[in-house]
Amino acid sequence: MTLDKFRPLADRMLDPFVTAADRVGLSPDGVSVIAFGFAVFAGTAYALAGAAAGIWRPDPLLYLLGAAFVFVNGWLDLLDGALARRQGTDSKAGDLLDHVLDRYADIVIIAGLAAGTEEYLLGFLAVTGVLMTSYLGTQAQAVGLDRVYGGLVGRADRLAIIGAVTAVAAFYTAEPYGLTLVGWLLVFFAVVGHVTALQRFYYSMVALE
């Protein structure tokens, strides 16, 4: 269940956006920074929209804005790499910047979801699962293997799920088993994130034997 396998198709769909970004003079690093900005917007929107412990009622518009910002972040995350290849400027420094900003983007978005629902323990478990998933993917490369994108949920899947679920949460306010839809989203990432990390760890260990 990973959208990363469709990256070639996404690259073809990106072509007109890459052309437009190149024409207006954007650099891949600039696109990475802009993408991170949208992650900050998403996290802020989620924190404000879902601050539900008696202070505010969840704001449907802010949940929808958060979802839109997440989708834009994911789209720009694809665009920066494609733009670097178009301009012939792909480099290790650019790759490092992209990965660092992606990790901070993951933290900001999930922190916003946790703050909005006041489910801080779930938020902690979710963000550690997400970070370990990403860490195992790149650590495989550090020990001489190819970078690992496999497992149950990759970053593309994660952003798509967050965007879709929070868009639904704008209208679905029930709390099955005492948790909001966003709370269950955090449970999902807490469980699946660590399972995906362990999948990548197992794959890497087998490949190293």
For residue 194, the model assigns a pLDDT of: 92
CATH of the domain at 76: 1.20.120.1760
Which residue shows structure tokens 């910047």? 97
- Tell me the pLDDT of the chain averaged across its residues: 85
**Residue 106 designated active-site:** no
Q: Give the residue from 208, 204, 188 showing the smallest Cα distance to 1.
A: 188
- Does the pLDDT value for residue 124 go beyond 90? yes
Each residue's pLDDT tens digit, 145-201: 777 766 677 788 899 999 999 999 888 877 888 888 999 999 999 999 899 889 888
- Does the pLDDT value for residue 68 go beyond 90? yes
For residue 120, the model assigns a pLDDT of: 93
For the record, the structure tokens of 147 come out as 């970078």
- Does the pLDDT value for residue 5 go beyond 70? no
Q: How many domains does the chain have?
A: 1
For the record, the structure tokens of 63 come out as 């949940």
Helices (H), the chain: 7-23, 28-49, 60-87, 92-117, 120-142, 155-169, 181-208
**Among the options 102, 106, 146, 157, which is catalytic?**
102
| Residues spanned by the domain of 156 | 3-208
